[in-house]
Amino acid sequence: MYAESKPYRYGEARDLLRSIIEDFLILSGDKLGSNDVTWQDVAGTASVNLQVLASRLEAAREGNVSGGPAVFPSPKDLEDRPIKSITDEEYREAINDHMGWCPNCKEFTRDSTEPDAENYDCPECNENRVMGAEQALLVGQITIGEEG
């Protein structure tokens, strides 16, 4: 559990986002949770983590960050970021099949890739840039939309 008094740190924020995604995967039925945890417990944890995330984002917006990036990307930088929209079905398939996303190829090119993987080798372009499907979504390499 994340205490609100802790300073904002990038690694902690990333872990918090991963926890939120994990909770939502369990709540949506896409992933099995532990047998000793009820869906109400998962929903409660997700709710608290979302509240903590909101307070961390507000602190970052106000410039009260410690250990995080000193400069956030500008809207122009975000426009230039290579993003590909995939369908919800494609995303679920990528998670279930442990597929890895290559930013160079802009495709899922690798099997046996952990959700939070980074810098794995790509069998197509031979660059060490493949990341897990969840990581690709977190860092903005892919988005989930109506069409792929």
* pLDDT 10s digits, 22-56: 888 888 887 877 777 787 888 888 888 788 878 77
Number of Cβ within 10 Å of residue 29's Cβ equals 9
Burial (Cβ within 10 Å: 0-12, 13-18, ≥19) of residue 109: buried
Give the H or E element holding residue 15.
Answer: helix 10-27
Q: Is the pTM of this model over 0.75?
A: no
List Cα–Cα distances, 144 to 11, 37, 61, 148, in angstroms: 24, 29, 25, 8
Residue 116's nearest CA partner among 129, 139, 132 is 132
Q: What mean pLDDT is reported for the chain?
A: 77
At 131, is the pLDDT very low, low, confident or very high (cuts 50, 70, 90)?
A: very high
Q: Is the pLDDT of residue 73 over 60?
A: no
Model confidence at 11, pLDDT cuts 50, 70, 90, reads low
pLDDT exceeds cutoff 80 at 16: no
